[in-house]
């Protein structure tokens, strides 16, 4: 599973977790998108995934690990500008890519 991979700075990071989850979902016929979050004016960013549920609601999934540790699976139903996200700060922008 994607979330079991070890986070290694500059080698296997959030975008790798998101890419691997997208590939696994699509291999099984499930449509999966990417979400890019930016934080503050310095535009620090984070990547995770999004799925559209049958009722039209979005489910956001973040499988990213932390430094030298495997990931965990976290589910969210609301991500919006101005909200705090984990230890990364206040969300400045939310971009979805399908």
In this predicted model, what pLDDT tens digit does every residue of 4-46 receive, in sequence order? 788 888 999 999 999 999 999 999 999 999 999 999 876 789 9
Closest CA to 51 of 81, 75, 27, 85: 75
pTM: 0.88
Three-class secondary structure of residue 48 per DSSP: strand
In this predicted structure, the answer to whether residue 1 has a pLDDT above a threshold of 70 is: no
**Torsions phi, psi for 12 (to 5 deg):** -135, 100
Query: CB-based contacts of 61: which residues, under 8 Å, 6+ apart?
Result: 21, 48, 49, 50, 51, 73, 74, 75, 76
**Would you state the pLDDT for residue 96?**
95
**Torsions phi, psi for 35 (to 5 deg):** -125, 130
Residue with token string 């609601």: 57
Distance CA 15, CA 29 (A): 21
| Mean pLDDT computed over 55-61 | 95
Structural domains of the chain in order of their starting residue, each with its CATH number: 2-97 (3.30.460.70)
């Amino acid at each position: 599973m994607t979330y079991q991979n070890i986070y290694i700075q500059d080698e296997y990071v959030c975008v790798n977790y998101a890419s691997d989850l997208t590939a696994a979902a699509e291999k099984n016929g499930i449509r999966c998108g990417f979400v890019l979050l930016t934080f503050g004016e310095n535009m620090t960013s984070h990547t995770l995934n999004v799925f559209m549920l049958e009722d039209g609601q979005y489910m956001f999934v973040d499988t990213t690990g932390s430094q030298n540790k495997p990931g965990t699976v976290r589910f969210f139903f609301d991500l919006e500008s101005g909200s705090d996200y984990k230890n990364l700060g206040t969300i400045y922008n939310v971009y979805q890519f399908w």
